Every structure is written in C-alpha cells, then in structure tokens.
Amino acid sequence: RENGKPNMDVNAIKSDVAEFAAQLGLASGGSGFDDRDFRTPPKPKQPKPTADAEDSKSNKENSKEQTTGKGKGHVKGNKFKPEVPGLKDRTWKESVGPRPAKTTTAPVARPPGQSFSRVGLNQVIDKLLDGTPWHEQLADMSELKEPTGKKGKKKGEGVSEEKQAELVKAARATAESILERLAKAYEQEHERNDPADAKWLQTVRRSGTTADKLAAWTVVIQENLPANMRSLDAVLNMSTGKGKRQAAQAVEVLCELFAGAVLPERKLLHLFERPLHLLAHGAVTGDVTHSVTHEDVRRLVYWHVEDALKTSYARFVETLGTASKDSLEHLKDKAMKASKVLLAAKPEQERALLRTLVNKLGDPSRKVASKGGYLLSQLLEEHPAMGAVVAREVEAFMFRPGLPNRARYTGIIFLNQITLKRTERDQVLAGRLIHS
C-alpha cells in the first residue's frame, strides 16, 4: 500500500483480460476487448444509375403493369375489370398472357320504349309533379292512332266488352299504385322546399278549424290535383256531412275548385270510354318486362284521374240538388248559386245542374223561387246560346202533373223576361215560345 491505497499492476490486469477474451474468441489479435464482432456490417454503397439504367427500370415497371395489372397506384385486393365484351370479371394472371389493351365500344342501342322500372317510374312521377294542370298536359300529348292491318282495316276495332273490362280493371289498379307513390313524393318535395309551410299544412289538416282545413285542402288541390285526390274526397265528404254550416262552406270551396282549373273545357270521359288497347301492355298492367314509354304511363294516370274526377263531380252535383231542397234557406242559396256558376263555367253535368235551377221555380218560399228565376236570367245573359235549352226545360217543368199554379206562374214570368234578338236562333226560339 502506498498512501493508504492498494498497489495495482495495471499491465498485469490488462494481460489477464486479453488472455480471457482470447479464450472466448472475442478478439482476433492485439490486446484489449474488440466489439467489432457484434456490429452489423454496413451495406456497400451502390453507384448512381446512369440514364440507360433509368430507361431500363421504367420499361421493366411498365412490363410488370401490363402483365400482372400491378404497378404504381395498385391497391392489394383490386380486381382487374376488362373492358372487352365477353370477358369475365376476375383477377388477371401472368400465366394467361399480356393484359388486352383497352378498347372503346359503341353504346348499345335501346328499344324505342323505356322499361317500366323504378328509375323510369321516378322520372314519370317527376313529370307528374309539374304544376301544369293535368288536362293541359293530357292535351299536349301525341294523338293515339289505331294501327291498321294489311287490308287497311283497323286492328283495334271490335274490342270485346270482356277484354275492355279486364283492361279497365288492370289500368285502375296500376294507376292507383302510381298515385299513391305520387302523393308521397308530393309531400316529400313540399317538406324539402318549404318545411315550415308543409308543417303548418299538416297541423291544420289534422287539428285545425273547418275554415283552416278547407283552405289547406284548396291550396294543395290547386297545386297538384293527381297528388291530392284524397284531399278532394275529404272536401266532398264535408259537403255531405250533418253540419249545415260546414256543408255550406264546403259547397262554396268545391264550386271555386270545379269552376277553376280542376275541370277542363270539355265533358269528362270514363276510363272504359278510353282506347286502353292502344297503350302499351306494360303501361296498363305495370309489368316491368314490357317496354313502355313514359307518355303512355302518364296518359294512363291522367285517364284514371279524369275517371275519378267525373265520378266525384257527379256526386257533388247530386249533393247540390239535395242541398237545394234543404229547409235552411242559407244552404239553399249556396247550392243555387253554385249550380249557376258551374253551369256557366263548365259543360259537364249541365243537364242535372239546369234541372236543379229550374226546379227552384216551384220552391215553397217565394224568395227562393224568385232567386231561381233571377239566376236563370243571368245564365242566359252570359250564354245566350242556351236560350232554347233553358226554355225547353222550363216548359217541361210547367207541364208537370200536380204542379201548383204559383209555380207555373213563376215559370211564365221567367219565359216572358227572356231577351230576344234579331237572329235566326232567337227567331226559332220566339216561335217556340208562342206555340207553347
């Protein structure tokens, strides 16, 4: 020990460590611990590629992409979808050969009609949601022509009643299913375009007052009648209800609707009066396997709407006749005014409406009987050509058996007040009045 520290032979210690390491094989020579055996050997540096090497690499990648379908941007699991007609959709294999080049093929020509599928029906519904009145759209469609045979005879002539009945039944079922979808599409479009207004209409129709309900129904019917046939039925039901005040309000609303754009300027036709055999079979039956045109489907829907509208209007005219005999004079007055307005505005059911007005000439109330004669005079001022028809109906009324003399007197006063002009038509009418 020197200065309190033990003596250490450094060289002897190094020699012992080197000898022990040599026994383990950890050192190749020299003295001390060598850790190079534990290190990962570095990768040799490669020289920078020349221009020729770059072109060779690019050609190699292109060749790989053409043969395997793999290259830059390839995602594992994607399948190669060949565009050559007739090849199946499968993963391309190298063993098959090179992938065929892309080819452009001409679009396949479609048949003249479009399939009555979901997509086609949605297009039809979009057209039905147009704000144009239904009868105007129907009038704008191309005219249906009867096909002719070799001898010039029309093939559609002589369609049996049994066949027509089958077509009517199938057409009505198809049209009703389309109208159901149309009603849902109308509600969805209304909610999308104006959510606040749509919510208000729903609330009013469900729990509003009578006046509010009628206003809401009037709005939707005027916007699109085919999509709101149920609203029209609701107003009709109210006009025949037990509440006299509600019935009078409903009569006034229906008169405004029917005298407006709901009815066309012609007489309505039933569905069985239409040439259903001229439509495509798929349009009538709703069969998706048949090729039909959108126009045929829309035409069928409008024909069905017209058929339903003719029935509803006849029901309303009958309601007016019943209301004109009610004990409440206010309801009588509403029915008489509605009959006159509709008779002057539309040609549908004119005979029944005229009979309702003429019958009021014999009403027990003098006020009502006088009002009936006044309305008939107003009708002739608006439509002088109806003079002969009205005079003939009044004459038939006056010669009814058992009619009170006061009713005949009212009829004579009305005939005496008819204004005649120096026309051939009025000369004939004057001679008729004199002989009667």
pLDDT tens string 304-348: 999 999 999 999 999 999 999 998 999 999 999 999 999 999 999
Q: Which residues contact 355 (CB under 8 A, 6 or more apart)?
A: 321, 393
Q: Quick check: 265 pLDDT over 80?
A: yes
- In this structure, how many other beta carbons lie within 10 angstroms of the beta carbon of residue 401? 4
Q: Quick check: 246 pLDDT over 70?
A: yes
User: What residues form DSSP beta bridges with 148?
Assistant: 154
Whole-number Å distance between alpha carbons of 193 and 65: 51
pLDDT tens string 198-240: 888 888 888 888 899 999 999 999 999 999 999 999 999 999 9
Give first-to-last CA distance, the chain, whole Å. 167
- The pLDDT assigned to 83 comes to 47
Whole-number Å distance between alpha carbons of 83 and 333: 76
Exposed e or buried b per residue across 44-74, where buried means at least 16 C-beta atoms within 10 angstroms of its C-beta: eeeeeeeeeeeeeeeeeeeeeeebbbbeeee
- In this structure, how many other beta carbons lie within 10 angstroms of the beta carbon of residue 4? 5
Whole-number Å distance between alpha carbons of 119 and 40: 67
pLDDT tens string 357-387: 999 999 999 999 999 999 999 999 999 888 8
Mapping DSSP onto H, E and C, the string for 185-198 reads: HHHHHHHHHCHHHH
Residue 151 DSSP class:
T
Give the E-state strand segments of 108-221 in sequence order: 114-115
Sign of the C-alpha dihedral computed for residues 390, 394, 395 and 400 taken in this order = positive
| Structure token pair of residue 278 | 């001229």
pTM > 0.85: yes or no: no
Residue 160 DSSP class:
-
CA-CA distances (angstroms) from residue 418 to 254, 353, 388, 394, 411? Answer: 30, 19, 10, 12, 11
Whole-number Å distance between alpha carbons of 135 and 295: 14
